[in-house]
Amino acid sequence: MLFRRLYELRAEKAAAGERVIVVGPPGAGKTTFIKQFLEPKLKERFGDLSRVRVEEVTAGLTPRREEAQGDRREVIRRIISRRYINGDEAAEKLRDVGGADHLKTFEKLPRDFVEYLKGRYGGWSLYLFYIQPDAEEDRDVVERLRKIAEGVGVGFRWLGLEYVPPGVVAMLKEGGEGYVEEQLRLYRRILEEFGAAGGRLAKLWELGRSVAEKTGEYVLESSRRRRVSWPKSCFPSSQAAPRPALCRASPPTSYLARGSGAAG
């Protein structure tokens, strides 16, 4: 398993209390970390999981669905008008959440997200989970991914935090460099087609999967108007057939951003 030792070491640090909120970028490996490493460690430390509460939250997103409701133009207007605060201010507002200082790692966070954490997780321990680009474990494949991404002109960044998405690393090991490069080029072309240089799509993508799923119809309609060339593999003959990750309405690689114009 990729990054196994890293997951194990992080679980040792995160299992400090009976109520833990795991925060991190989308696709950072939070669910794998919790289910396969953190919960077993908490069970070992506290005897059973009936006393323990563990939740995960994608940085910048709240589970409320209101922001994804209504006319798609109104949805996009709400998305791009969100107010942000810097990581230092977020940590200050969350003084009653243990480990909130870790949020200083982010350049910025949506104010409503910080308010959500404050209202729900007072007295909990917060653990920021992500794989750093300079992680030593599986360094060879991480370096290969970095070179491919640089060649394509994309970066892995979320709200100013640079990280390594383990799902894309696994894609590289399983599918090879050519497949990953093809997927990243497709994603960049989609960004360019929808005016990501102006920041609008980057703002849209910052909200991640929950909103991307709701606005998928808008993306598809715009792609037809702009005559985006989608690969045939995006439209399998059977609904059960898998599609490449970047063909989905809310791709696992939606946390990608163009090199110099990265989201965040």
* Structure token digits, residue 116: 């959500």
Q: What is the mean pLDDT of the chain?
A: 74
Asked if 159 and 59 touch (Cβ cutoff 8 Å), the reply is yes
**pLDDT value of position 239:** 41
Can you read off the two tokens belonging to residue 38?
């953190």
**pLDDT band for position 243 (cuts 50, 70, 90):** very low
Q: Helix, strand, or coil here: 158?
A: strand
Q: Where is 53: in which H helix or E strand?
A: strand 53-58
Residue of 165, 159, 171, 180 lying closest to 30 (CA atoms): 165
State the Cα–Cα distance between residues 208 and 226, nearest whole angstrom: 23
**Is residue 102 scored above 90 in pLDDT?**
yes
Residue 82's pLDDT band (boundaries 50, 70, 90)? Answer: confident
Q: What is the mean pLDDT of residues 185-202?
A: 60
pLDDT digits (tens, 9 = 90+) for 116-136: 999 999 999 999 999 999 989
Q: Are 62 and 83 spatial neighbours (Cβ–Cβ below 8 Å)? A: no
pLDDT band at 70 (very low <50, low <70, confident <90, very high): low
**Helix H or strand E encompassing 87:** helix 87-93
**Between vectors from CA 57 to CA 52 and to CA 61, what angle results, nearest 5°?**
155
Residue 165 has pLDDT above 80, yes or no: yes
pTM confidence score: 0.69
Higher pLDDT among residues 101 and 211, named by residue: 101
Res. 256: pLDDT tops 50: no
